[in-house]
Amino acid sequence: MSAPSLHVHDLAFAYPDGHQALYGVNLTISPGERVALLGPNGAGKTTLVLHLNGILAGGEGSVSVGGLAVGRPNLQEIRRRVGIVFQDPDDQLFMPTVGEDVAFGPANFGLRGAELAARVRQALDAVGMGEHAGRSPLHLSGGQRRRVALATVLACDPEILVLDEPSSNLDPVARRELAEVLLGLDRTMLMVTHDLPYALQLCPRSVVLDGGVVAADGPTRDLLADADLLARHRLELPFGFVLA
- Domain holding 222: CATH number? 3.40.50.300
Q: 222 pLDDT exceeds 70?
A: yes
Residue 1 lies in a domain: no
- Residue 124 inside a domain? The answer is yes
Report yes or no on 241 lying in a domain: no
Looking at the predicted structure, is the pLDDT value of residue 90 above 70?
A: yes
Count of structural domains, the chain:
1
The amino acid at residue 226 is D
pTM for the whole thing?
0.93
- Note whether residue 10 is domain-resident: yes
Cα(15)–Cα(27) distance, integer angstroms: 21
Tell whether the model's pLDDT for residue 27 goes beyond 90. yes
Report whether pLDDT(16) > 90: yes
Which range marks the domain in which residue 144 is found? 6-232
Domain assignment present for 126: yes
- The average confidence (pLDDT) of the chain is 94
* Residue 193 maps to a domain: yes
Domain membership flag for residue 48? yes
Q: Does 89 fall in a domain? A: yes
**Mean pLDDT on 148-176:** 94
Whether pLDDT at 9 is above 70: yes
